[in-house]
Amino acid sequence: MAYSGGVDSHVLLHALSQIKCQLPPIAAINVDHQLQAASAGWAKHCQKICAELNVPITCLQVDATPVNRESPEEAARKRRYEAWAELLQPGEVILLGQHLQDQAETVLLRLLRGAGPAGLSAIPERRALGDAQLLRPMLHVDSAQIHAYALNQQLDWVEDPSNHSLDYDRNYLRHQVLPLLKQRWPQVEQSFSRSAALCGEYERRQHKGFQADLQRCVEDGALCLEPLIEYTQDIQVQLVRYWLQEHTGQPVQRVHLAHVMSDLVKAKPDKQGKVYMSGGCVCRYLDKLFVLPGDVVFENPDVEKSWLWRGEHDLPLTGGVLSSRQVFSEPLTVTFRQGGEKIRLKGHAHRKQVKHLLQNAQVPPWDRGFLPFIWQKDQLIQVGERWVAEGFEGVISWAAT
């Protein structure tokens, strides 16, 4: 389970530890976002509590620095989920301590942003996380009950001071808005939760109804524009939205969807634009849309560098690792693409322009700058894994990361 040291996750961990003999093996995961000076101390606190409860714990550190227009909260959330997904094995389950108040806050936030049924379905009780599953067993539990349990069991939890800062929208709703609403409507949090469940049911039915059309437009994960534009404008928007949701794992904001439609779907055929959004970056290439990670780097920072390499060891580079089955007597030179390179392939009398080879193979532009170019003196002998000069076949391998 995800254990931050806060009261919610501590209560869930403590409750599970009391019945662990009836459960499959349980373990805790602590993620330090390194955003506050006290975070290292919180990790040590979590280790201490887990030792007392005889629960194994894994502590991870992530770099939650926002990139590509991410908000600080979005960056922290994304790095946290990525860390969980990398650690979890297929078939495993991770439990989160989110509760009824978290759900109500999320519904309110989405409502204030003008969200539709997908956004208003808010926090799902269960969803896939890579090949694992994510569950929220306390999503219908009142926060007051959680605090009462913590006090009754004399639990020792950490308090994140940022949770009291009204600079954050969620905190403002938690401390200023929801208490006022509860004075007038005591069951407001349960009502928001019920509305979220109804929106989720509606959204799942809608999604299921579009599956056949969506499958017709998707090829190897990419959204093909040629079959897409055969549909009416309204259906195009729905298909794009569902495709984006499947790739990002979260509702698509209206403003991002509008940009994808206008800047990518409706663009001229030779357009190669991109739109950053929550959960990823959408790119167009050869009349297809692709969703790339939100922190994708389009320009290789090492493009001006070169390496001398004899093949005696693996050579890690930006984008992958080179390895060789033989050691060369004279060092090879490894570079990245500069432009204008040519290579003579087996069975060809003349050299081919690498630019044309990349275009004909439909290598996306965002991948081209990360392919290694391997030279023996002034002769280009290999590009990536695919293009190899005669006499060098099967010698050097490139494993992209």
93-112 pLDDT tens trace: 999 999 999 999 999 999 99
Banded pLDDT at 64 (limits 50, 70, 90) = confident
The pLDDT of residue 277 is 85
Banded pLDDT at 43 (limits 50, 70, 90) = very high
Architecture of domain 7-185: 3-Layer(aba) Sandwich (3.40)
pLDDT digits (tens, 9 = 90+) for 143-167: 999 999 999 999 999 999 888 889 8
* Res. 71: pLDDT tops 80: no
* Res. 279: pLDDT tops 80: no
The pLDDT of residue 192 is 96
* Res. 294: pLDDT tops 90: no
Which one, of 58, 50, 126, lies nearest residue 86 by Cα?
58
Averaged pLDDT for residues 75-99: 92
Candidate CATH numbers 3.40.1180.10, 3.40.50.140, 1.20.59.20, 1.10.3720.10; the one for domain 191-292: 1.20.59.20
Pairing of the two strands 132-135 and 93-95: parallel
* Res. 118: pLDDT tops 90: no
pLDDT digits (tens, 9 = 90+) for 345-358: 987 878 899 999 99
31 or 298: whose pLDDT is higher?
31
Considering the chain, tell me which residue range(s) the CATH 3.40.50.620 domain(s) occupy.
Answer: 7-185
Average pLDDT value over all residues in the chain = 92
Considering the chain, tell me which residue range(s) the CATH 1.20.59.20 domain(s) occupy.
Answer: 191-292
* Res. 269: pLDDT tops 80: no
Q: What is the pTM of this model?
A: 0.71
pLDDT digits (tens, 9 = 90+) for 6-15: 999 999 999 9
Averaged pLDDT for residues 222-228: 95
The pLDDT of residue 298 is 82
The pLDDT of residue 288 is 93
